[in-house]
Structure 1
Amino acid sequence: MKKILYTLSLGLFLFSCKTETKTETQTITKQEDKSLTEKVVKETKKYPENLVKVFNAHGGLDLWKSMRSLEYTQEKPDGKEVTTTDLYNRKALLASENYAIGFDGQKPWLLNKTDKEYKGYDPKFGYNLMFYFYTMPFILSDDGIKFSEAEALTFEGVTYPGIKISYDNGVGATPEDIYILYYNAETFKMEWLGYTVNFVPGIDTKELHFRRYGDWQEVNGLLLPNTITGYGFKDDKPTTPKAPNVFTNVKLSTTAPDAAMFIKPEQAKFVD
């Protein structure tokens, strides 16, 4: 009888321990979930409500911020150009058969692989120029950005509400740039980007240029452009389309790219 009582008491004790451990684990898990929820809520409060809806329509800012690397390919006149970017520190590499442009986190560099003079875009801006357009709307979650309501854009009878983006002093190479994101009023997907240009000599820095979005592809749960089409412009309005920029072999990953790929090769030159 004593053995039976002892066994029963031991069983109740072990069951009690397991229950307490399970309850404690559940409490910790709930606390972690609550902390994560509070962090996301706090993060999204920085942005206008309609911009958060745009983020969500494209897969969500939380999912975007979990990604570490982005890669895509573009067809250029002299061959394919592959762009790889570390999404945490924005180190970048644009690699093609004839040249490579990189950013090591401090300075951009250029490697000319031919004997001919390099005549491509300025590496100082070129290493992340298309990346900035490509990662819309998520790139607008960067620090140092200010938001305000913009006048809506009407094109071919459709009206698109707008969100104006400006920058704090010292943010980016050209903090005086202005961007306006125009979105579909029903789906909240991004449709247009209006922007000023301050890094090209001889261009009116107040006039809006335009790129059209809408051709999206899903990559790891996020909507990213399949094509982006530049437009002619007049009086801060788009006019006629140009040849689109096409993006293929798009890869998003939660794993960081190899840091060595962004280091300037010995034959390359830093660009001031």
Structure 2
Amino acid sequence: MKKLTLLIAITAVFTACKKEVKKEIDQKEPTVEKYPKALLEVFDKHGSIANWDKMKTLSYSIDKEEHTTDLHSRRAVINSPKYSYGFDGQNTWVSDTTKFKKDPKFYYNLYFYFYAMPFVLADDGITYSEIEPLEFEGKKYPGYKISYEANIGNSSDDNYFIYFDPATKEMRWLGYTVTYFSKKPSDKFNVIRYNDWENVNGLLLPKSITWYQKDDKGNPTEPAGDPTEFKLPLLSQASLADSFYEKPNQ
């Protein structure tokens, strides 16, 4: 029902915008020189940064949680039958701290970063460096390390490692470090396999991901658990009202 309500809200906003008479402003294509050529090919394979930048609202479900993010402001709301939490553009909030006891500042965009790959790796304030390929079942996947300039996001010392299929250019693996809780740089990284992709309004987004165990060289060996599935995806050029991302009244 929540997903249907969200879809109706987005459709209504999009329809209203179409009825307004506005002077169209030509949008410049993003500067591609700042991306390594091979990584730009990955972005293009998944639908291109230009098309991603046109989108304003992203929504998907994980288990019983429905995640919605404003792609330009990165405001977010996560709704479940028992609680909701999110980020209103200035502060994080929780509807019921007795039912959701985790830190919303860390969790409100955690799955967004995993789901919006590879496009979140085109954000401002990022530097790229080529790294050794990751190897799995005899196949090598070229990769790039993504690091952040100081004071970018909540954990600027985090690093991501994107690996892609050299033939298809699809993203296939993600390595990452977590420094949010320790506030210190870390060499220990986790690795996720991107199992499959689906076309959502012209962009390839993941249907499921799986965390993997690693060998002493950092290469994945076997699944560390069941896949995480993303369902009911919605990607729209319409924005939701500011009030959608605010903490609900008690």
Query: Is the structural similarity TM-score above 0.5?
Result: yes
What is aligned with 2:78? 94
Letter in 2 for 1:99: Y
What is aligned with 1:16? none
Mapped pair 1:257 → 2:245: no
Distance 1:54 1:252 in 2: 20
Mapped pair 1:180 → 2:161: yes
CA contact (8 A) 2:158 2:185 kept: no
CA contact (8 A) 1:190 1:214 kept: no
Change (3 A) 1:108 1:234: farther
CA contact (8 A) 1:146 1:167 kept: yes
Q: How does 1:124-203 map to 2 (within 5 A)?
A: 124-200=105-181
Structure 2: gaps spanning 5 or more residues: 1-23
CA contact (8 A) 2:157 2:179 kept: yes
Letter in 1 for 2:221: T
What is aligned with 1:237? 219
What is aligned with 2:17? none
Identity %: 45
Letter in 2 for 1:85: T
What is aligned with 1:26? none
Q: Tell me by how many angstroms 1:152 deviates.
A: 0.6
Mapped pair 1:44 → 2:32: yes
Deviations 1:75-106 (A, max 9, x none): 1xxxx110011001000000001111110111
* TM-score normalized by the length of structure 1: 0.78
* TM-score normalized by the length of structure 2: 0.84
Letter in 2 for 1:255: A
Aligned residues: 225
CA contact (8 A) 1:197 1:203 kept: no
Letter in 2 for 1:212: R
Change (3 A) 1:202 1:61: closer
Q: Tell me by how many angstroms 1:141 deviates.
A: 1.1
Structure 1: gaps spanning 5 or more residues: 1-31, 268-272
RMSD across aligned C-alpha pairs, in angstroms? 2.2
What is aligned with 1:6? none
Residue among 91, 96, 110 paired with 1:107: 91
Mapped pair 1:248 → 2:231: yes
Change (3 A) 1:204 1:62: closer
Q: Tell me by how many angstroms 1:117 deviates.
A: 4.8
What is aligned with 1:122? 103
Mapped pair 1:66 → 2:47: no
Q: Tell me by how many angstroms 1:111 deviates.
A: 1.0
Greater relative contact order: 1 or 2 (C-alpha under 8 angstroms, separation 6 or more)? 2
Give the secondary structure class of the aligned counterpart of 2:31. helix
Moved over 6 A (4+): none
Give the secondary structure class of the aligned counterpart of 2:34. coil
Q: Tell me by how many angstroms 1:199 deviates.
A: 2.2
What is aligned with 2:43? 55
Q: Tell me by how many angstroms 1:265 deviates.
A: 2.7
